[in-house]
């Protein structure tokens, strides 16, 4: 069995005024909260034991109200990380660690997903491929096919033979690859003890890319390229673009 952790505790200041009083993962895309598109993919996975959405004190009420209106085949927990502003946030890795401790998760495999992701990747296929790399962590990769666009992302250079991550670049000025990390991480139970060590040693608790790079240096990290559509909802333009596309898709169907 696996547990899914949705990282939803950011304050999304780049999307103001939309997110001043509304969490980004619950912004509507073609009339549905963005997070529900992610959970559509999670529903395709056979052995999910539970899903936890970690948020903050400011928005926990929004998530709890939303959770009361939806129904899924597994428990959906909302976890408040107790932070109240962008200045005191725990960061994505800090929040992941917080959930593991709060829910006493140590022996289960984890899939962590950034809550501002919008994609139609086959998560079930990703997990099947990721399990073949046990005991190592696996990161989902997506080809943005544009060097200028690639500057905005954490980028991966993968070994052509086995998919091992041989270099992790965080928003480089001169990218040499267009393969981006897209905020989906397979963390088998064997790696969870490493997270404790990473934070105890004082490493960056904010962006997941820093932890992924550290994992690649400590043991090994693998990438699995995914096919489909992916939107990184980082600003108003990307939000409007994703909303417009999904509205057009909805009309056609």
pLDDT digits (tens, 9 = 90+) for 19-70: 888 999 999 999 999 999 999 999 999 899 999 999 999 999 999 999 999 9
Residue 166 lies inside a defined structural domain of this protein: no
Residue 171 lies inside a defined structural domain of this protein: no
This prediction has a pTM of 0.93
Residue 186 lies inside a defined structural domain of this protein: yes
Residue 187 lies inside a defined structural domain of this protein: yes
The residues facing 186 across adjacent strands are 111, 138
Kindly tell me if the per-residue pLDDT of 241 is higher than 90: no
Q: What is the pLDDT of residue 20?
A: 86
Kindly tell me if the per-residue pLDDT of 253 is higher than 80: no
Copy the structure tokens of residue 217: 């240096």
Residue 91 lies inside a defined structural domain of this protein: yes
174-233 per-position pLDDT tens digit: 888 999 998 899 999 998 888 888 888 888 778 787 888 888 888 789 999 998 888 878
Residue 65 lies inside a defined structural domain of this protein: yes
Q: What is the pLDDT of residue 113?
A: 94
Peptide bond into 135 cis (omega under 30): yes
Residue 220 in contact with residue 190, Cβ under 8 Å? no
Residue 177 lies inside a defined structural domain of this protein: no
For CA atoms 68, 69, 71, 76, give the dihedral sign.
Answer: negative
**Long-range CB contacts (within 8 A, 24+) of 13-19:** 13/86, 14/234, 14/235, 15/233, 15/234, 15/235, 15/236, 15/239, 18/236, 18/239
**Which CATH number characterizes residue 113's domain?**
3.90.550.10
Q: pLDDT grade, residue 110 (50/70/90)? A: very high
Q: How many domains does the chain have?
A: 1
Structural domain including 64 reads: 2-141+182-252
Residue 157 lies inside a defined structural domain of this protein: no
């Amino acid at each position: 069995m696996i547990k899914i952790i949705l990282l939803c505790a950011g304050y999304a200041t780049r999307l103001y005024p939309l997110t001043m009083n509304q969490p980004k993962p619950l912004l509507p895309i073609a009339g549905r909260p963005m997070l529900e598109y992610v959970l559509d993919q999670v529903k395709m996975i056979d052995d999910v034991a539970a899903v936890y959405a970690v948020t903050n004190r400011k928005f926990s009420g929004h998530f709890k109200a939303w959770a009361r209106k939806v129904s899924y085949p597994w428990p959906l927990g909302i976890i408040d990380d107790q932070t109240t502003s962008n200045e005191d946030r725990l960061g994505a890795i800090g929040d992941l660690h917080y959930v593991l401790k709060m829910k006493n998760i140590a022996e289960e495999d984890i899939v962590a997903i950034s809550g501002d992701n919008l994609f139609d990747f086959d998560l079930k296929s990703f997990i099947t491929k990721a399990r073949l790399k046990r005991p190592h962590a696996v990161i989902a990769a997506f080809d943005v096919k544009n060097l200028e666009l690639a500057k905005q992302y954490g980028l991966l250079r993968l070994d052509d033979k086995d998919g091992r991550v041989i270099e992790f670049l965080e928003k480089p000025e001169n990218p040499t690859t267009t393969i981006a990390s897209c905020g989906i991480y397979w963390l088998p139970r064997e790696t969870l003890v490493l997270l404790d060590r990473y934070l105890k040693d004082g490493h960056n608790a904010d962006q997941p890319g820093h932890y992924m790079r550290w994992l690649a240096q400590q043991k090994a990290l693998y990438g699995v390229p995914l096919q489909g559509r992916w939107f990184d909802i980082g600003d108003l333009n990307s939000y409007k673009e994703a909303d417009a596309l999904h509205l057009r898709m909805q009309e056609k169907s």
